């Protein structure tokens, strides 16, 4: 165990890294949104690309740094832990604040796609289990497959809700130089913050005597998921809870197909079989969300086109169930070490 002062100093540096990630993501979104509006790009395109990329950039930067440094456990654990936290922790807290109305297209396509992403990741990562190889890893070929799925997702997103105005995306009026400066400052904050997070995560794991995977699944994952948490909670407070689910589900799809795709393409990521429980938790969380938005009544509703939009709601008590599942999950992985 390291002396008390170095641990405190490491935690302070980690907190600074998280703050830089959050501020950097915010600057990047604001600057890029302003540039996009100047180029007459629609609100829908901004919401599905600029904002979605912006809230996922902390995970992306952390994973790029971790991949380059060879910290595969942090890279994989960050994405897996973020996806679990997004659904169970963030949607749980948001639903407790205000019941979440869910769009029909999100239920029909985006939540199932998030579930598919988790299943694909499980199969891709388990070379030893499925193909009998000695080692399992997410190789460059797997990364390319993820990126192909991501391109399909982007193609789909530009086709949904055609002609509708995207809620929650406000036009930022600023000069060209201000927008460019915000983008540059945002990228700088993300790079420096990502470096701090990965460096200090290793030191924290060493100090506490736990694995880097555990730190990636908990501290790093929750830290990089704060943009999604802030976005969803603010949406609930402003009485626009329907934005919350799209934000979270879209981020989960981005995390697996885009971020892990880029990370594996940079450098193959060795996969530890111990993380299979966490991969199955990703699948379980998406399946639980799918079940909850149907009010637990899946029988005779495989084709629920007639169901009214107002019926798709995550109630407060259901948010409590999601949050309780997350607390139980964290307790299990802490016990597992």
CB-based contacts of 307, cutoff 8 Å, min separation 6: 104, 301
Give the pair of three-digit tokens for residue 27. 């600057």
- Structural domain total, the chain: 1
**CATH code, domain carrying 177:** 1.20.1420.30
pLDDT tens string, the chain, 337 residues long: the values are 444 446 788 888 888 888 887 787 678 767 776 776 777 665 445 555 666 676 677 778 888 888 888 888 888 888 998 899 889 988 998 889 888 777 666 777 788 999 999 999 999 999 988 888 888 999 999 999 999 999 998 887 766 544 444 444 445 567 878 888 887 888 788 778 877 777 787 677 777 777 777 777 777 777 767 766 766 776 667 666 556 677 788 888 889 999 999 999 999 999 988 889 999 999 999 999 988 887 655 444 444 444 444 557 888 899 999 999 999 998 888 787 6
Q: For 320, what's the count of Cα atoms within 13 Å in the CB-facing half-sphere? A: 3
What pTM does this model have? 0.76
Nearest to 243 by CA among 257, 258, 256, 233: 233
Boundaries of domain holding 202: 4-336
- Number of CB atoms found within 10 A of residue 314's CB: 26
4's enclosing H/E stretch is helix 4-38
């Amino acid at each position: 165990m390291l002396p008390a002062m170095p641990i405190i100093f490491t935690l302070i540096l980690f907190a600074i890294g998280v703050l830089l990630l959050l501020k950097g993501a915010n600057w990047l979104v604001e600057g890029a949104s302003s540039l996009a509006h100047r180029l007459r790009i629609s609100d829908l395109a901004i919401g599905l690309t600029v904002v979605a990329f912006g809230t996922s950039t902390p995970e992306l930067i952390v994973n790029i740094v971790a991949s380059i440094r060879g910290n595969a456990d942090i890279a994989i654990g960050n994405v897996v832990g973020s996806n679990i936290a997004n659904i169970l922790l963030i949607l749980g807290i948001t639903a407790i604040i205000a019941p979440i109305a869910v769009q029909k297209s999100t239920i029909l396509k985006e939540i199932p796609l998030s579930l598919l992403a988790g299943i694909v990741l499980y199969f891709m990562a388990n070379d030893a289990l499925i193909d009998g190889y000695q080692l399992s890893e997410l190789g460059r070929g797997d990364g390319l497959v993820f990126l192909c799925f991501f391109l399909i997702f982007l193609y789909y997103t530009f086709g949904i809700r055609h002609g509708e105005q995207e809620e929650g995306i406000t036009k930022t009026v600023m000069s060209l130089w201000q927008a460019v400066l915000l983008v540059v400052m945002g990228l700088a904050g993300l790079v420096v913050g990502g470096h701090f997070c990965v460096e200090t995560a290793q030191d924290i794991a060493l100090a506490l005597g736990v694995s880097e995977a555990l730190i990636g699944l908990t501290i790093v994952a929750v830290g990089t998921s704060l943009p999604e948490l802030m976005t969803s909670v603010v949406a609930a407070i402003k009485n626009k809870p329907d934005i919350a689910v799209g934000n979270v589900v879209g981020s989960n799809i981005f995390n697996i197909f885009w971020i892990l795709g880029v990370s594996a393409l940079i450098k193959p990521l060795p996969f530890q079989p111990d993380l299979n429980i966490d991969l199955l938790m990703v699948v379980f969380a998406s399946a639980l969300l799918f079940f909850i938005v149907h009010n637990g009544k899946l029988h005779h509703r495989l084709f629920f086109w007639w169901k009214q939009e107002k019926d798709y709601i995550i109630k407060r008590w259901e948010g409590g169930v999601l949050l309780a599942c997350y607390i139980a999950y964290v307790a299990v992985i802490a016990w597992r070490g």
